[in-house]
Every structure is written in C-alpha cells, then in structure tokens.
Chains A and B, each alone.
Chain A
Amino acid sequence: MGKVLMKGNEVIAEAAVHAGCKYFFGYPITPQSELVAYMARRLPEVGGLFLQAESEIAAINMVYGAASTGVRVMTSSSSPGFSLKQEGISYLVGSELPAVICNIVRGGPGLGNIQPAQSDYFQVTKGGGHGDYNIPVLAPASLQEIVELTQDAFDIADRYRTPVILMGDGMLGQMMEPVEFSERSDTEQCKKEWATTGTRGDGGPKIITSLELDAESLELRNRNLQQKFARIKENEVRYETYHIDDAEYIMVAFGTTARITMNAINKARQDGVKVGLIRPISLWPFPEKPFIETREHVKAYVSVEMSAGQMIEDVRLAVSGHAPVDFYGRTGGVVPTQEEIYDKIITVSGGVTI
C-alpha cells in the first residue's frame, strides 16, 4: 500500500479496520469527529457496521452489547464524552468484555475547550468509573505508532477480556503524518466461547453479567480481576527511552508532549546538558523499570505534561524518593513549547553540566 498522508483521527480508524474491527458506535465530539465520520464511510466497505448513537452513554452500551457477541468493537470520544462512558466502561470491566475505547483528550474540566490536553490521565489510569479496576491505556506519540498500538489494543483486549483505552490529544488527532498500514499476521483470534450469540449448537445458556450479589463471590471475582491486572502489569508494559544512558536529568513525557520534549532535549544536549527522556507508552501499566534502573544516579526527573500534574504521581511512585521529581505543565489546552521545556531543563540542571 505504501505511505499515505492522513490525519491522526483517520489513522486510528483505519488501523482499527486493519485490526479486524468491524463495528463502531460513536457520537460526535470535537476534536475526534473525523474518526467517527471516517468509520461511517469505511465500515460498510468491509461489511461492517457504523451506528451513530443518541449519546455517549448509549454508544458505550451498544459497544457492550456488540462485545458480548464476541466481535471486535470500538468507540471513541473526547474528554466530556469520555466521562459519560465511564459507567459503561466499569460494566465492561465487570463483565470482562473486550473493547477498544479511544479518548482524544481536550481541555477541561467541564465543557473546557477543544484544544489539546492530557488532563484525563487520572481518569484513564486510576479506574475512572466505579469499582476496583485498571484498564490498559496506550498513548501513541506519532501516527505510525497509532497503527501499531491500535492493533495492540485489540489484541490485549481479546487476550485479557478487558476494555483497552487508546489515548491521544487533540494535536495527535488533528495532525497529518505519513503512515504505512500493515496487516498483523499473528493477530490473535481468540476463541470466544463465552460470547452470547444464541445457544443453537453450542450447549447451554451463557450469561454475561457483572452482578454478584453474594459478597464472598464478588470478592472472589475481584480477586480474579486483580490477578488478571497483575498479569497485564507483567506482560504489557511499553515505553521508550531517549539518551538516558549518560543522563543526569531525565524528562518524562508521553504522547505529543514527548515529541516536543525531545526537541528541547536535543537543544539542551547541544548545549552540553546530559538530559534524556523516558516516554511511557502504556500509561497503565506504568513503566517502573526505566526509573528503577536510573534513579540511583539521576540527579532529577521532570514530568512534562499538558495538565496540572497528574502523571507526576506515578513518576514519584516509580522514583520512590531516590531523586527529586520536578514538573512542567501547561493546562487548558495550552501546549508547552520546546522553548519553555528547554528553559525548564536549564533551570533544573543549572545550565551546562558537561
């Protein structure tokens, strides 16, 4: 197929189609509307179905229904709409149904605005809805990485019977870059014997539910969920590092913010500052390993976010007091510039470290 120039939102949609997703239930909200519109055009071409729901609440529950039949299914939204999906996401976790939910984050709280933000970090990584749970969250930084991670998202969802969140910001959704799509030959097509598709030819009735009235039984169910989360933590951590081998200072950033930070790091390196980057790709499970490996000799970490400081809590936990953790962030849809981040590097490092 070769390289094509596409918008991030459309890349997510096309990557989902390549991952075998044929069902999409959506609701318009800026800045992810192109994704919904792309699916409306594209899915009929592959014999799938796009349906515009009456609300984000209905959309996530349609996803729940479709997921219960065992097909690959997806929905997408942006922050205010994503909040509305929380109930359904909690049910998906409780009923152990696989699905992929995309959140193209915008400025909040409340109606906020439509500019890029990462301020839904807490919401996606710490549960979000009610109950004890975590959801795998993948945060691509480039459009080519969207292709990989969207496929990963569907595979992880099936492998662990869990919803998976794909998180970007408005910038990632709106920008264009060349991408190349590929079919993953080793795509897991798990047998979904639990699916409720009618009992004809497959034995007795099956039930999809998150209800467990007996406390001991629900505790057991929770214990099983926690074991599953532990397996995910063991197997699905993803991150990238940049110039950390000799780094005295390490910046931590994800998504598009990481790219802007890399530019600032390049400039600071030219000026002689030994600074590197840890880029979490899975926000949950959070990559602790690169921190454990570096925290004994790094002078300081700086979490750079498009929020008032959310990921910094996970950075602190991973650093565990071995080094100071500083912060630079912009909120409300303001994107931190490489000049600002460079200045922060200089302030923290005290200039040239040679």
Chain B
Amino acid sequence: MTMKTVFKKTTGLTDKPTHYCPGCTHGVIHRLVGEVLEEMDILEDTVGVASVGCSVLSYEYFNCDMTQAAHGRAPAVATGVKRVLPNRFVFTYQGDGDLASIGISEVIHAAARGENITVIFVNNTIYGMTGGQMAPTTLIGQKTATTPFGRDISIQGLPIKVCEMMATLDGAAYIERVSTHDVPHIQKTKKAIRKAFETQKKGLGFSMVEILSTCPTNWGLDPAESLEWVKDNMVPVYPLGVYKNKEGGK
C-alpha cells in the first residue's frame, strides 16, 4: 500500500506559524494568495507590500520579497516598486481600516492611474489590531469600541462600498467581491485572486479583490457564529460578484 499526498502546504507561505486569532480568515486568505503565486509559478518574481493592522506581519508569512508600508500607503509603495520593476508581480495586502479609511486616497489614485498591481482587500467591518473600533465599512447598527450604541447614520454616516466605488474608475481593470464564509465561497475567492494576478500578468491595469472576512475576537462571536454573521449581515450589504472586468467574459 502506498501513501498518496492529497494535501500539502503551499510553498507560497513560510513555515512561520501565524499570530491570527482562532476563527479569523486571514490565515485562509494568506494560503489562497500563496497557492495562486505558487500555481502561477511567480513566487520568485513577486514583491508583496504589507500594510498596517492585523496583517502587518504578513511579510513574515508570504514566502516572497516583502516590503512593509505605512498605514494606508501600501498602494503608493506598490506603485514605487512596480514602476521600477514593471516585470515583477506586485501586490498589497490591506485591511478595511487601512484601505478604506486612512488609505482610500492612495488606493483610488492607484486604480485611477491603472497601476498594474493587485490589491488584496480584506474587509471584516472593523479595526482588529487596535481593539475593535469602527471602520468605514462597519455596518449600520454594528457595535464597536467607538460605536458602543451601534453605528448611527446621523452621527457616523454610512458604510463605504469600496468595490462599487472603485469600479467607476476607468483605470480599474478587475474588481471583484468574494467571501470566505464557507468552502464554496473560499474556492471562489481563490479563483478571484487568480483572476486578479492574471489581470496583472496581462498588463491590463489595476486589480482588486475585496474579501469579506471575520473578526470573532472583536465581534464577540465564536468562529462558527462569525461565519454565519458574514453570510447573514455582511453579504446583503456588500453583494458578492464581479464589479469590473475590462477583459470581458468570465
């Protein structure tokens, strides 16, 4: 009887154990990105840009050259890298506080310029690292450390729908929102990430995948409840789908 390998860890990730909380989907998303880089055989030609937030240490997990950027500035840093090294694959990995709040200008202008980079945007509607404060993506009524009575439209305004907004920019080539709340959606997420890097490979311009994710620690839910919460509360507000596909087709 011979043993058959049915699953192995991607070479796209280092052996370092991640620091993420139980039930957080950052780990899954890291693996998907790592697998795509491995499967496309571009790991050695990739420079990643880490952001600030829970994923700040992602540079220790991705098994490629990594540069760490200031809060929100990853798309500007990625622009600098890509403009010097147009033949390398350059991606940023950013949360919703980093990208949608402090860094909204950088990501919009990177897209507007059609920077040929890929943005992995992980949206869990909250600032995780700093202890669960409101993000631009926090849902109406959602309780956070800085919206203890729930997000009130009259005070904190309405959530930003990043994909919808970014899709209006002519420089954006591929924009898709996916989710990680169950296995079929995780598989779709991987396809979307692959599509984004393929877009970059073809030189079509800016690509971004928004990935709905969890934060059990700051939501005060267990991992399973968190996945349900994504499905029941986030997906209706942040509809999944392809928002922009310059190339057309699937």
| Residues in A lying within 8 Å of B, measured CB to CB | 23, 25, 49, 51, 53-55, 57-59, 61-69, 71, 73, 87-88, 91, 95, 196-201, 205-211, 213
Contacts and interface: CB of A to CB of B under 8 A. Distances in A.
Given A198-B44, A198-B45, A198-B47, A208 B83 contact: no
17 contacts: A23-B80, A51-B79, A51-B83, A54-B109, A57-B106, A58-B76, A59-B76, A61-B77, A64-B67, A64-B73, A64-B76, A67-B80, A198-B85, A207-B60, A208-B67, A209-B50, A213-B57
Interface string B61-82: 0111111111001001111111
Contacts of A54: 105-106, 108-109
B178 interface: no
A64 B75 CA distance: 11
Given A67-B80, A68-B77, A58 B109 contact: yes
Given A54-B109, A61-B69, A207-B59, A198 B83 contact: no
A205 B66 contact: yes
B221 interface: no
A200 to B, nearest CB: 4
A65 B68 CA distance: 9
Interface residues of B, number: 37
Contact of A87 (B47, B64, B70, B77): B70
Given A49-B83, A58-B109, A207 B76 contact: no
A199 B43 contact: yes
A208 to B, nearest CB: 4
B63 A61 contact: no
Main secondary structure of the interface of B (DSSP, over half): helix
A65 B76 CA distance: 7
Contact of B65 (A53, A71, A205, A213): A205
Contact of A68 (B57, B62, B67, B83): B67
Contacts of B76: 53, 57-59, 61-62, 64-65
A118 to B, nearest CB: 28
A95 B43 contact: no
Contacts of B147: none
A23 B79 CA distance: 12
Given A55-B105, A208-B66, 19 more contacts: A53-B109, A58-B79, A58-B106, A61-B76, A61-B77, A62-B77, A67-B80, A68-B47, A69-B80, A69-B84, A69-B85, A91-B70, A95-B68, A197-B88, A198-B46, A198-B47, A199-B65, A205-B64, A205-B65
Given A65-B49, A69-B85, A197-B47, A207 B80 contact: no
B14 interface: yes
A255 to B, nearest CB: 30
B186 interface: no
Contacts of A206: 65-66
Nearest to A57: B73
Contacts of A201: 44
Contacts of A73: 80, 84
Q: Which 4 A-B pairs have the closest CB atoms?
A: A65-B80, A61-B76, A196-B65, A200-B44
B56 interface: yes
Contact of B64 (A67, A198, A209): A198
B77 A209 contact: no
Given A66-B81, A196-B81, A211 B57 contact: yes
Nearest to B81: A65
Contacts of A88: 70, 73
Contacts of A62: 76-77, 79-80, 83
Contacts of A199: 43-44, 64-65
A61 B83 contact: no
Nearest to B86: A49
Nearest to A200: B44
Contacts of B63: 205
Contacts of B83: 23, 49, 51, 62, 65-66
Contacts of B85: 69, 197-198
A70 to B, nearest CB: 8
A61 B70 contact: yes
Contacts of A49: 83-84
Contacts of A61: 69-70, 73, 76-77, 80, 106
B81 A200 contact: no
B117 to A, nearest CB: 10
A196 B106 CA distance: 21
A211 B73 contact: no
Nearest to A25: B80
Contacts of A59: 76
A66 B44 contact: no
Contacts of A210: 68
Contacts of A209: 50, 59, 66-68
Contacts of A200: 44-45
Contacts of A71: 84
A62 B117 CA distance: 13
In the complex, which of the residues A25, A62, A87, A95 has the most CB atoms of chain B within 10 Å of its own CB atom?
A62
Contacts of A95: 67-68
Contacts of B88: 197-198
Contacts of A55: 105
